[in-house]
Amino acid sequence: AYVNGRYQDMRDASVNIEDRGYQFADGVYEVCEVRTGKLVDMPRHLTRLQRSLRELRIALPMPLSSLAVILHEVVRRNRVRFGIVYLQISRGVARRDHGFPLKPVRPSVVVTARTIDPAKGAANAARGIKVITVPENRWPRVDIKSTALLPNVLAKQAAREAGAYEAWYVDGDGFVTEGSSSNAWIVTKEGRVVTRPDSSGILSGVTRGVLIEALEALQIRFEERPFTPAEAVDAAEAFITASSMIVMPVVTIDGHAIGSGKPGPVARRLREQFHRFSAFS
C-alpha cells in the first residue's frame, strides 16, 4: 500500500486514529479497473477525483500526474494483472472537531491494489445477477464520490441477505436512481438503452460515461431519462455498470424475471465490446 509518501506492506500500513477520513468519513475515493496490468480510464477517474475534492474543499495534495505514478507503482508492486486499484484522499489529521481544521493540514493519501479473478465476473455475467430495490436514503450530493457510504453498505448487505447481488435505490417519485455501487440501465423492447441523466442524485460513473460514447459508436439508440422498477421488470433487458464489474446483466428485480430471465444480447454485446472504447495506461 502507499500511505502518505511511503510504500508499505499492507499488513503494516495504517493511518492516524485522528484522521478525519476515519472519524468523519471526510474524504473521497476512486476505484479504477486494472486489466492486463494496465489502468482502465484512469484520466477520467482522476478528473472525477479532482471534482470531488473541489466540492468538499479538500486540497489536491499533489499533481494528478504524481497520483498516476503512485497508482501504477502500487499495481506493479502487487503484481496485479486483473483487479482494482483503490485511491482515497481524506482531509487529513487534526484534533477531533466537526469543522475544518483551523490550521491547514496535509490531506492523507492511501492507495491499495488487489487482484480479482476475472473468471468470477465472467461467471456472474454469464448467469446474470439479481437486484432488489430499497428506498433512496442517501444525502442529495451523491455526485461526490465520498467515503461516507453507510447507506450503500446497508443497501448492499440487504441485497446479500436477500440472495441478490445489488440493490437499486428508488427515489420518492418511484424512479430508480442507481445501485449501491453501480449505475442502473435498462434496454427497452424497442432496443433503446436507457439510464438516468447525471445529476447530484447519482454518481457520474466513469463506466457510464464510456458506455454512452460506445453506444453512439455502435449506433445503439440511447435515451437519458429516469425509469421505474416496474418499467425495468417489463423491459427487454437490464444491467448495471461500474469499474469493478464493467457491464453486468440483471436478470431479476425483487424476484421478478426480466425478459427471458437470462442475460440479454445487448448487455452481453456491450460487455464484450466495452474495452474497445476505454483508455488503457
Footprint of ligand PLP on this chain (CB under 6 A)?
31, 178, 181-183, 203, 205-208, 241-243
**Is-catalytic flag, 130?**
no
Catalytically annotated residue among 103, 145, 189, 262: 145
Helix (H, G, I), strand (E, B) or coil at 92: coil
Closer CB to ligand PLP, residue 90 or residue 181?
Answer: 181
Q: Do residues 45 and 30 make contact, with C-beta atoms less than 8 angstroms apart? A: yes
Closer CB to ligand PLP, residue 38 or residue 262?
Answer: 38
Residue 29, strand partner residues: 88
Closer CB to ligand PLP, residue 19 or residue 178?
Answer: 178
Indicate the DSSP class of residue 19: B
Closer CB to ligand PLP, residue 107 or residue 151?
Answer: 151
At its nearest, how many Å lie between ligand PLP and the CB of residue 15? Answer: 21
Active-site residue numbers? 145
